[in-house]
Amino acid sequence: MVHKTRKKFYGSVTVSERGQVVIPAQARKDFGIEAGEKLLVLGHLDRGLVFTKSNFILKMMEGSMGAARRMQSFLKGEAVLEDEEDDQD
């Protein structure tokens, strides 16, 4: 089944006295979260909390770092940006 939207509501959770929450089973299944896996907890004081798998952030950082390295090489005159390479053909 193809979902028209990639957004889902999984219900609500209760915070225990120790500050623990249980991630709903369907959410764990949909996101491939397994017992013992580390999650990052990000927050915005006005908007709330976000739990994310660490590999998501690492992938974002890798993309940003790659772009930064290309820009650094370009500024040093060592290479051209990808868009400029296409223009030279």
- Please check whether residue 28 is in contact with residue 18, taking contact to mean a CB–CB distance below 8 angstroms: no
Q: Which residues of 28-62 are buried (b: 16+ CB within 10 A; e: fewer)?
A: eeebeeeeeeeeeeeeeeeeeeeeeeeeeeeeeee
| Closest C-alpha to 30, from 9, 4, 54 | 9
Specify the pLDDT at position 82.
59
pTM beyond 0.75: the answer is: no
Q: What is the full per-residue pLDDT of the chain (89 aa) written as tens digits?
A: 565 778 899 999 999 999 999 999 999 999 999 999 989 898 999 999 989 887 777 777 777 777 777 777 877 777 655 554 444 44
Q: Which residue is it, tokens 């991630």? A: 23
Distance (Å, whole) CA 31 – CA 69? 31
